[in-house]
Structure 1
Amino acid sequence: MTEPSPGLDPAVRSLLTELETRLTVTGLADPDMIRADFDTMIEYLHDVGSDRPGPVPAGTAPDLLVEDGEVVTSSGRVPVRWYRPVAPAVGPGGVPGTDRADRSPVRVPAATAPTAVDRAAAETVGGHGADVDVVVYIHGGGWVVGSPATADPIARALASGLGATVVSVDYRLAPENPFPAAFDDCFAVVQAVADTVPHRWLAVGGDSAGGNLAAVVAMAARDAGSPAVDAQLLIYPALDPTMASASQQRFADGYLLTRTALRYYWDSYGAGHERRPYCAPSSADDLRGLAPAVVATAGFDPLRDEGNDYAERLAAAGVRTQLLEFPTLTHGFADQLARVPAASEALTQVIAGLAAERDLAVHGRVGLHGLGADRPGDTPPDAAPARSVGSAVAAVQQLRGLHV
């Protein structure tokens, strides 16, 4: 393991040491073993089964109705997990404090969970029979591992902090189902949710490989002319299969996501499709007209540079963009809420940024928790993203100056 560099958050440094000591990685030969190793690591990161406190609370967490179900799409049924607030949100960016009992989802038979062919059920899950805010969330894991269960704390934080319905997608995994399977599943879910759940604002988001899928879903929605995606949330997204950036070299080992693992993930999912934008967003020539973006990157992450570069390109293409940089954290910080206080604060800032974009889209104004104008493409060409190191408020203030 590479000796962690100065500037790394002390809690992250301790966590890396603990993971190296406690967890055994069996290698990259067997997808089932890789998934078992990943689930073990996530369980440890989430601190499941201990008496330690959960994520640092940013207010009183609302109750959530959490249901497993399916969304019926034009190509079949895709498993999803629905999150619906049943109490007022804690406010923009509020990451809920989560007790142990609340971490286990309420499971219901798929037949009683909302589907895209049951509008009445969808309205119920959407919240109080009225148009609501919806986030379709796509978990990370290199397209090979992960599930809505492993992304549960992130989805809960989004639902609580935004007061929004969150639909977490259980897409097909590689290598058994390579590109375009995951993309097809995620785009189909967004289409079905947009058509079925009455909403006033619809975002798509994800972390790591899920950030890749969120980016390409936003791209496909633009290209197809529907559904109308109002925002994209890209948390340390995997965008560039060339893996040629300086951060890929500098943080190749020792910071949770290794270069070797990332190469395996790209080869498992996207081999032969590296120049197709719906597989590798970095290869897209035209980013104009995409949904407003909130991009979050970590300082000690091999994916840092490609995330920063994509945010810069979005802004240059006229897409309203926030770039939130967290220089002391690693890849996967959104999975470290129970163990790294700075990670919890980072996710709070990320959700605040998305709430700000939502406030702009819905209310058309900018405040401390809101951005400025009405649809994508209102940023002057060749503009820079609203850029902030560790604070969504600073990015929002930049956008307020640009757009109001």
Structure 2
Amino acid sequence: MTGGPSMTGTVAETSVDRDVTALLAELGPPVPVAELSTVELRQSMRDAVSVFTHGAAPIAVDRVTDEHVPGGAGSIPARIYTPARPAAVMVYLHGGGWVVGDLDTHDLVARRICRDTQSVVVSVDYRLMPEHPFPAALQDAWDATTWAARLRPDLPFLVAGDSAGATLAACVALTARDDGGPRIDGQVLVYPVVDDDLDAPSMQTYRDGPRITRDDLAYYLRMYLGTVQARRSPYVLPGHAKWLGELPPTVLAVAGHDPLRSSEQKFGRRLEAAGIEVTVQVDPELVHGWIDFAPRVPSADRAFSRLTQTINDLIHRGHAAA
């Protein structure tokens, strides 16, 4: 396992970056997600992204098109970002607790990944809870992935996402392994929700946040795991998988001040033990959601640059293997 420093010793004592603290203060006092309606939650996400991207310089790519991808439950909205000379294809699944987020909230993220990795980025507007309980989001992610895999079969093909979207990306990779394809050359998991262990050490340390609390995560997980299909599925959370062998090379980004940190580290160790090439990027001064802060927080901007460089290394290895 390679990457940043381990989350032990002095790293655990690293303070939250002051710029992050100042930025989050602009959002006002946090409100527990359980106290908000679905409409209010979605608006709060849009409002937060407006704060995080205020004054951000435009990121131009060669072409952006809105598409509708065929899916088993109907067409799936997607936004495709295409560079002038594509080096890879990447499916990107946005975060938001499987309840909030859309193509617009993650537009700047997708643009930067496209620009900095020269990937064709297929950003997927998968169905959200509570209107569409599990397995709707995973089914859309899977259908979009199988569609995108046919766009440029000559190029390395990756699945990626942040938070709940990273969970879906990891579960898509597990499904592809077990169902015989499509070929996935790498998975990029930015602070994924790996399991439902609410008693993990970091869940206790960061139970009150910042940015996301243990109670917030418990709310989303109760909703996500609340169906019979979810309880029976081996693909609902990647940490529930009994075996992690034969998965693609993995990039795992871990934020220091994140309730999910312990489970993510455990998942990284399990991947490594299963023989998977794992690159762990640890950003001890950052919090859950940092990828959205990059336009205004220098440390998050640097973390994003490290992430895209690691993705470029993954793409290079994919070309070499091909």
> TM-score higher than 0.5 here?
yes
8 Å CA contact retained: 2:200, 2:262:
yes
- Answering whether residue 21 of structure 2 is matched by residue 13 of structure 1, we say yes
Deviation at 1:192, TM superposition (A): 1.2
- Report matched runs for 1:82-93 at 5 Å: 82-86=80-84
Partner of 1:219: helix, strand, or coil?
helix
Letter in 1 for 2:186: A
Change (3 A) 1:247 1:65: same
Q: Is 2:238 the partner of 1:240?
A: no
1:246-301, Cα deviation, whole Å (9 max, x unpaired): 11111111311111211111112222535743112111110000111000000001
Structure 1 match to 2:126:
171
Partners of 2:36 and 2:27 lie apart in 1 by 21
Q: Gapped runs of 5+ residues in structure 2?
A: 1-12
Distance (Å, rounded) in 2 between the aligned partners of 1:302 and 1:344 = 22
Which of 62, 69, 72 is the equivalent residue of 2:70?
72
Alignment partners' CA distance in 1, 2:308 and 2:125 = 22
Counterpart code for 2:16: L
Establish whether residue 263 from structure 1 lines up as the match of residue 218 from structure 2. Answer: yes
The partner residue of 1:30 within 37, 44, 63 is 37
Residue 46 of structure 1 is aligned with which of 37, 53, 67?
53
Which runs of structure 2 are paired with 1:186-205 in the superposition (5 Å)?
186-205=141-160
Matched with 2:253 is 296
Q: Cα distance 1:66–1:28, how it changes in 2: closer, same or farther (>3 A)?
A: farther
Contact 2:205/2:259 (8 A) holds in 1: yes
| Secondary structure class of the residue paired with 2:105 | coil
C-alpha deviation, 1:167, in angstroms: 0.2
Change (3 A) 1:28 1:269: farther
Query: 1:62 Cα shift?
Result: 5.6
Which residues in structure 2 correspond to 1:326-337 (within 5 Å)? Answer: 326-337=283-294
Write the distance in 2 (CA, Å) between the matches of 1:268 and 1:348: 34
CA apart distance, 1:17 = 2.4
Residue of structure 2 equivalent to 1:311: 268
Preserved CA contact (<8 Å) 2:291 2:304: yes
From the superposition, tell whether residues 311 and 24 of structure 1 become closer, same or farther in structure 2 (CA, over 3 Å): closer
Q: 1:147 aligns with which of 102, 106, 109?
A: 102
Query: Would the aligned equivalents of 1:62 and 1:85 in 2 still touch at CA under 8 Å?
Result: no
**Residue by residue, what CA displacement relative to the aligned partner does 1:170-202 show, whole Å, maximum 9, x if unpaired?**
000011111110000000110111134444110
C-alpha deviation, 1:53, in angstroms: 4.5
Amino acid paired to 1:63: V
Q: What runs of 5+ residues in structure 1 fail to find an aligned partner? A: 56-60, 89-126, 365-373, 375-404
Aligned to 2:317: 360
Q: Which has the higher contact order (CA 8 A, sep 6+)?
A: 2
Residues 72 and 143 in structure 2, CA contact (< 8 A), matched pair in contact too: yes
Q: Quote the Cα distance in structure 2 between the aligned partners of 1:74 and 1:16.
A: 39
Residues 38-59 of structure 1, C-alpha deviations (whole Å, 9 max, x = no match): 1111111111xxxx3549xxxx
Per-residue CA deviation, residues 335-370 of structure 1 (Å, 9 max, x unaligned), is: 001221110110111111111111112125xxxxxx
Alpha-carbon separation, structure 2, partners of 1:323 and 1:175: 32
User: Retained in 1: the 8 A contact 2:194–2:237?
Assistant: yes
Structure 1 residue ranges (4+ consecutive) displaced by more than 4 angstroms after TM superposition:
23-27
RMSD: 2.0
Q: Is the 8 A contact 2:195 2:238 kept in 1?
A: yes
Q: Indicate whether 1:284 and 2:292 are aligned.
A: no
Q: Measure the CA separation in 1 of the matches of 2:56 and 2:150.
A: 39
Bigger radius of gyration among the two: 1
**8 Å contact from structure 1 (residues 135, 166) kept in 2:** yes
Identity %: 36
Cα distance in 2 for residues equivalent to 1:157 and 1:38:
20
Change in Cα spacing, 1:225 to 1:15, as seen in structure 2 (3 Å) is: same
Q: What is the TM-score of this pair, normalised by structure 2?
A: 0.90
Whether contact under 8 Å (1:276, 1:283) holds in the other structure is no
CA distance in 2, matches of 1:244, 1:260: 12
SS at match of 2:269: helix
Deviation at residue 332 of structure 1 after TM alignment: 0.3
The equivalent position to 2:92 in structure 1, one of 104, 115, 137, is 137
Pairing 1:208–2:188 present: no
Distance of aligned partners of 1:17 and 1:313 in 2 relative to their CA distance in 1, 3 Å threshold: same
